[in-house]
Structure 1
Amino acid sequence: MRSSIVSLLALGGSLFQPFSSATPLKVQNEIRADSWPFGPLVTSGRDIKNTQGGNVVYAGANWPGHGEVMIPDGLQHQSIETVVSKIKSAGMNAIRLTYAIQMIDEIYANDGKDTTVKASFTTALGSTNGPAVYAQFLEKNPSFDDTTTRLQVFDAVAAECLKQKIFVHLDNHMSKAAWCCSTGDGNSWFGDTYYNVDNWVRGLSYMANHGKNWPALTSMSLRNELRSPDDNATLKSQSYNWRDWYINIKKGTSAINSANPGLLIFLSGLDFDTYVTPIVQGTSLTPSSDKFSATDFGGYRDKLVLEIHNYQNSASNCNSLQSSLYNSGFQAQNASDPKTVNVFPVMLTEFGFDMRGTTYQGTYATCIASYLKAQKAGWFIWVIAGSYYIRSGTQDFEETWGLLTHDWSDWRSSAYVSSGLKPLAEATAQG
């Protein structure tokens, strides 16, 4: 098996490529319509539907790949198959796989050739640690070799997700590869230091097109946690608003849909994606008087999904927390609410908490779970990662919020997984 994969890599092809990139999308979608994931998926009111008419609800975990190495984390500790199997074993059916625009920028700057994983580890972790961690990566994932590129690792993750029937949602987390997020990191808003809008649109298009070869890929987001560009006072005062949000999200949605019309597209809001209320209620996109309109999205209004994040971990009142979730976005799923102008499916694409101790028994964790169950709403918990290759300058960084232990071998809190995570997945996952 290794020799055949190595031969494919030497030819510069994708590691696992069920479809040629030259295969017409119509043909790809016809094949997918008759087998899992029964795509392309579409929205219908508050629901997401597959080609069989069944509802699809994501119940999954975030899998970071936007850090400096620019491949999915944890693969020096475990194989791709092992990580996906752990996700599957908890009853989850989806991953939110993150990436950085920097990866695509570097491909363009290198005449269309991607960087090898070997080189990327060395660049990110240094001339001593990089090769050492890369050797561990090869030991755990022996189908790869020195010619393997970053995108081929993403290809392999998507292929394993197809094998195990795990939906892939691709999320642009950052422009410059690094830990996310702060208001001063230069990645916060359209036009910020590292957030070149043209490169971002180009990157969305590139990944959407590349994703045609991933049958498990059913959706993409536009951008993770848009936030105030506090490092740029002029940009903040003149552009950080819903008017400029609308201008740019129309560019992003068009780029994805033009490259891959089969994908759902997730729209995130302001203030670290904590609310999307103006979209839901159809109020003015200030400082403009314009409002969100389905006609601005041509024939793909049925591809749009809203997403929000919630980290109100200090919540002490469940009713208050659930009201916050409703008013921040989940109102869009309630067509009977007179204030709901635009009905959408809504997903909680990030929430999470410290996996040590008994935090999972507290108000925040239990209240979030009960709300998602009642709403039959999609979700991605932060985070599957037990550790990161590097985070904020610290290599092999311990992630105490991670579902998995430091070496990704076991659940960090088996008590939470059995009494909280699995029941949540069982009550919500569909498709």
Structure 2
Amino acid sequence: MESSLLVLIPLLLCFVVKAAAATASPLSTSGRWIVDAGSGERVKLACVNWPSHLEPMVAEGMSKLPLDEISKAIGAMGFNCVRLTWPTFLATNDSLANITVRKSFDRLGLNFTDVSLIERHNPALVDLSLIEAYQAVVSNLGDNNVMVILDNHISKPGWCCSRTDGNGFFGDTYFDPNVWVEGLNYMATLFGSHKNVIGMSLRNELRGPRQNVEDWFKYMAMGAEAVHAANNDVLVILSGLSFDNDLGFLSTRQLNVSFSSKSKLVFEVHWYSFSNSEAWGNGNPNDVCGRISGSVTNNAGFLLDRQFPLFLSEFGIDQRGVNERDNRYFSCAMAYAADKDLDWSLWTLQGSYYLREGVVEMEETYGLLSLNWTTVRNQTQLQRVQSIQQPFRGPGLSEVPPYKIIFHPLTGHCVTLDSSRRLALAVGPCSERWNFSDDQTLSLTTGSTPSCITAVGVGMPVALAECDDVMSSKWALLSSSHMHVSTKVAGGNATVCLDVGGDDRSVITNPCRCLGGDASCDPEGQWFKLVTSTRLIIS
């Protein structure tokens, strides 16, 4: 008897507040925030990518599990949104879009195993046309209160992306701008009645030797106008250049569209370790994190200050935990996403592909799900991502005055009171409100008398004590990453930093690691990010 994916998702999820589900109203923007157009309250997009753009043009996994089970699992893992990819030819080439799922697999030589398994798990899909099957996925996600962003990932179905695949930029072999606009118009119209379709991403990862800023402004405006004219409810999401790493050209020039750009436009950015692979592999992690975080801000993050939402529509990690570059980068990216309180979409859901780059049943090591789709590949990594699914602040969420959480990106936990030891601290739920004051103390904001985090000694647990004017209660942020929370131990000159003890729970102080220069050491255990929140915490 096969196990259900749903029963393998820990019961812990039953006790956490889920990210906002699909709303009755369309979404809009208010300054840098995505909001419910009816109430004006922030809706944070906590999405996962689900590919449907490869050669079969069917959402991955239909040969593994029933569609409804996958949709329910997405919601049960805390995601409120799916970035569902599609190739332009699905919308513009009738000879492809109108063939059945069965025939699509037949023409690729996948007719025996995959088709029989799709018949077993999803009998209602196998003889639908490809576009009908895509609609069925969107509808089922809606039935399970999951929002959808339709992402035009590529033109010709296949794996994305290379600089020379003919799909990279306007005018490339398979990227006729007029056909692309036709496809956007078709999909915006087709899904106009699907209320869970809340946004359309105009194009994934523009790139290649033809890319240039002038054509970006020309054609992205055309695409945005086409989508908005066909369906003025959806968010219009625009990617940048250089594999969606660069929106810096918007620092000096705005996109001109006829509709209100301040109510529907969202910009997206991608961030992976392999964009800076050599740096993450050979540089000091603090220096690299500080430098690349600054680059992300210069190339895209500045748009938040310009009052546009920024959607981190792809970021991810090798879920096996064996890629040192990924491990270093991901803690840095998690800290950035938490600090900026970004909307985001994790790459990726699928544990495998029907067919990728000529390989049948290729495993996706970045996938949340295992190769056979029946288990979560890495529960620890899932729990890390779940820590940023909830909004920290935004319109309608100013429930209390601003405070800090002390976020530990390596674990997805926060510094909290240790229920088993009086006046001690541990990493756990983000349930404490801290104040980082001008006098450099870190104090609890609850209670009549402030209690400050105080260092006791090297290798020893920190304590909560009265906020006296002593050196060991004064904290500073060190290193280029600004994530080493440091102080001087009373009675000595040793600089120590917050750390997690050998029990993986207690908060202690240790000599600060890897502050600069050394590329071989690992500072992640000492990385803590002070994140601003205005949410009311109910214990």
TM class, shorter-length: 0.7 to 0.9
Match of 1:394 in 2: 359
- Match runs of 1:341-352 below 5 Å: 342-352=306-316
User: Partner of 1:398: helix, strand, or coil?
Assistant: coil
CA distance in 1, matches of 2:345, 2:267: 13
CA distance in 2, matches of 1:131, 1:428: 49
CA contact (8 A) 2:44 2:391 kept: no
- Match runs of 1:177-188 below 5 Å: 177-188=157-168
Verify: 1:134 aligned to 2:115, yes or no: yes
Match of 2:301 in 1: 330
Partner AA of 1:425 in structure 2? Q
Query: Among 405, 410, 420, which residue is 2:375 paired with?
Result: 410
Decide whether aligned partners of structure 1 residues 293 and 250 sit closer, same or farther in structure 2, where only a CA change above 3 A counts. closer
Match of 1:164 in 2: 144
Question: RCO (CA 8 Å, sep 6+): is it higher in 1 or 2?
Answer: 1
Match of 2:193 in 1: 213
CA distance in 2, matches of 1:355, 1:198: 39
CA contact (8 A) 1:166 1:216 kept: yes
CA distance in 2, matches of 1:182, 1:145: 31
Match of 1:62 in 2: 49
Deviation of the 1:187 alpha carbon: 0.4
1:333-354: per-residue Cα shift (whole Å, max 9, x none)? Answer: 12xxxxxxx4200011011121
CA distance in 1, matches of 2:208, 2:195: 36
Verify: 1:224 aligned to 2:173, yes or no: no
Deviation of the 1:220 alpha carbon: 0.3
CA contact (8 A) 1:78 1:407 kept: no
Deviation of the 1:78 alpha carbon: 1.2
Deviation of the 1:300 alpha carbon: 4.9
Deviation of the 1:221 alpha carbon: 0.7
CA contact (8 A) 2:81 2:146 kept: yes
Deviation of the 1:165 alpha carbon: 1.6
Decide whether aligned partners of structure 1 residues 185 and 293 sit closer, same or farther in structure 2, where only a CA change above 3 A counts. closer
CA contact (8 A) 1:38 1:52 kept: no
Partner AA of 1:138 in structure 2? E
Decide whether aligned partners of structure 1 residues 428 and 152 sit closer, same or farther in structure 2, where only a CA change above 3 A counts. farther
Report the identity percentage.
Answer: 34
Deviation of the 1:242 alpha carbon: 0.5
User: Partner of 2:52: helix, strand, or coil?
Assistant: coil
Q: Which runs of 5+ in 1 are unaligned?
A: 1-34, 230-235, 284-290, 335-341
CA distance in 2, matches of 1:358, 1:425: 25
CA contact (8 A) 1:226 1:271 kept: yes
Deviation of the 1:195 alpha carbon: 0.7
Match of 2:135 in 1: 155
1:315-348: per-residue Cα shift (whole Å, max 9, x none)? Answer: 32332232222112111112xxxxxxx4200011
CA distance in 2, matches of 1:215, 1:344: 23
User: Partner of 1:72: helix, strand, or coil?
Assistant: coil
- Match runs of 1:354-365 below 5 Å: 354-357=318-321, 362-365=327-330
Match of 1:292 in 2: 254
Partner AA of 2:48 in structure 1? A
Deviation of the 1:428 alpha carbon: 6.2
Verify: 1:85 aligned to 2:72, yes or no: yes
CA contact (8 A) 2:221 2:255 kept: no
User: Partner of 1:212: helix, strand, or coil?
Assistant: coil
Partner AA of 1:100 in structure 2? P
Partner AA of 1:216 in structure 2? N
Query: Among 103, 106, 126, which residue is 2:90 paired with?
Result: 103
CA distance in 2, matches of 1:199, 1:189: 13
Partner AA of 1:328 in structure 2? N
Match of 1:23 in 2: none
Partner AA of 2:165 in structure 1? D
- RMSD of aligned alpha carbons: 2.1
Deviation of the 1:405 alpha carbon: 0.7
Match of 1:31 in 2: none
Deviation of the 1:424 alpha carbon: 2.3
Match of 2:106 in 1: 122
Deviation of the 1:87 alpha carbon: 1.6
> Which structure has greater helix proportion?
1
Match of 2:246 in 1: 275
1:195-232: per-residue Cα shift (whole Å, max 9, x none)? Answer: 11111100000011111131110000110000014xxx
Verify: 1:308 aligned to 2:308, yes or no: no
Verify: 1:46 aligned to 2:6, yes or no: no
Partner AA of 2:35 in structure 1? K
User: Partner of 1:122: helix, strand, or coil?
Assistant: helix
Match of 2:342 in 1: 377
Verify: 1:422 aligned to 2:407, yes or no: no
Deviation of the 1:144 alpha carbon: 3.0
Decide whether aligned partners of structure 1 residues 344 and 75 sit closer, same or farther in structure 2, where only a CA change above 3 A counts. same
> Which structure has greater strand proportion?
2
Decide whether aligned partners of structure 1 residues 90 and 72 sit closer, same or farther in structure 2, where only a CA change above 3 A counts. same
Decide whether aligned partners of structure 1 residues 359 and 243 sit closer, same or farther in structure 2, where only a CA change above 3 A counts. same
Deviation of the 1:57 alpha carbon: 1.3
Match of 1:339 in 2: none
Runs of 4+ residues deviating >4 angstroms: 358-361, 427-431
Q: Which runs of 5+ in 2 are unaligned?
A: 1-20, 397-539
Decide whether aligned partners of structure 1 residues 426 and 70 sit closer, same or farther in structure 2, where only a CA change above 3 A counts. same
1:38-74: per-residue Cα shift (whole Å, max 9, x none)? Answer: 3321111101111111101111111000000111111
Partner AA of 1:205 in structure 2? N
Verify: 1:248 aligned to 2:219, yes or no: yes
CA contact (8 A) 1:90 1:425 kept: no
User: Partner of 2:93: helix, strand, or coil?
Assistant: helix
CA distance in 2, matches of 1:356, 1:344: 35
Partner AA of 1:38 in structure 2? A
Partner AA of 1:45 in structure 2? G
CA distance in 1, matches of 2:22, 2:346: 23
CA distance in 1, matches of 2:59, 2:393: 23
CA distance in 2, matches of 1:115, 1:311: 35
Q: Which has the larger radius of gyration?
A: 2
Partner AA of 1:265 in structure 2? V
